[in-house]
Homo-oligomer: A and B are copies of this chain.
């Protein structure tokens, strides 16, 4: 505790009360829009507030209300990923928009490494936020346990690995994987490979599961050399595609578990002289903006982000307001968007 800063001390509720000629309680009522205030008092208070540029001190209010009116969106991912994958942008934008409708504030917290995760945990436990939305969870992430233990209202963006009873919203990833794979099969493709997401993320696991389910239903063999693991990044997608071409040159279709990876795969295919969709059909996942823009336009599985982000927010607010009975969760349907690549 070195200095004091030069912040001119702002006016308090008392000063407003004195100026308005009423009691502190009345000022508080006006500020909190209680209906039981006479119009005259209300006006006097408003005038005083305007005159003094009064702004309520949040710490004092929080101390008694036990609320901060801010929620955190925690990005549990390397920021290279966060800032390059359009999926994150979409979620942030969507949640942000949903929160903007309310009186709440939204803060973004990054939790890339153990140290930052610890800080986020402390931040939440200290009562800085009323609730947390956790996204991009990896299998071993300690944050779910930390935050659950802290008793903070919590919603996951994405199904949790263990079946823990927690509120979450997710796209139907496995259903989407089935959709994509069946689309390829229905087009008469014989050798359908896949570039999966990271296997320590549920979206990676579930989309892969969908691929396998579809093959199984079609009575097709699952060949290990048709599976390469990516990391949801464009570079990773290119790498995995190259690997696949080496191991299984006969492939004529590939389900790539994210659009950025699909862009990389497209590049790798072009580099290898394969034409899309003539030689190899490609289906991506996400329906990111880039999907429609790339060459050829990418057939992909769309997630209903427009539904998911408000839902995420709603579930959290319900928990905060204490009206959520049990941990609710929602799986949102995915749909295939057919374009030229498959």
Binding site for B on A (CB under 8 A): 1-8, 10, 55-60, 62-63, 65-68, 70, 72, 79-80, 82-84, 86, 88-89, 92-93, 96, 100, 105-110, 112, 115-116, 119, 122-123, 125-128, 130, 151-153, 319-323
Contact = CB atoms under 8 A, between A and B. Distances in A.
Nearest to A119: B105
Given A1-B65, A125-B55, A79 B96 contact: yes
Contacts of A105: 119, 123, 128
Nearest to A116: B100
A240 to B, nearest CB: 18
B93 A58 contact: no
A119 B107 contact: no
A165 to B, nearest CB: 14
A80 B70 contact: no
Nearest to A56: B126
B88 A127 contact: no
A10 B106 CA distance: 24
A92 to B, nearest CB: 6
A91 to B, nearest CB: 10
Nearest to A323: B3
Number of identical protomers:
2
Given A5-B321, A83-B88, 10 more contacts: A1-B65, A4-B66, A5-B319, A55-B122, A55-B126, A58-B128, A59-B68, A84-B84, A84-B89, A107-B107
A72 B82 CA distance: 18
Contacts of A86: 83-84
A114 to B, nearest CB: 11
Nearest to A107: B107
Contact of A92 (B63, B68, B92, B110): B110
29 contacts: A1-B67, A2-B321, A2-B322, A3-B321, A5-B153, A6-B151, A6-B322, A7-B66, A7-B151, A7-B152, A7-B153, A8-B151, A57-B63, A58-B127, A59-B68, A59-B127, A79-B92, A79-B96, A82-B89, A92-B110, A96-B110, A100-B116, A105-B128, A106-B109, A107-B107, A107-B108, A107-B109, A108-B109, A108-B110
Nearest to A131: B5
Nearest to A93: B79
Contacts of A119: 100, 105
A71 to B, nearest CB: 11
A100 to B, nearest CB: 6
Contacts of A3: 321-323
Contact of A63 (B7, B60, B84, B153): B60
A123 B107 CA distance: 10
Contacts of A8: 151
Nearest to A3: B322
Contacts of A57: 63, 126-127
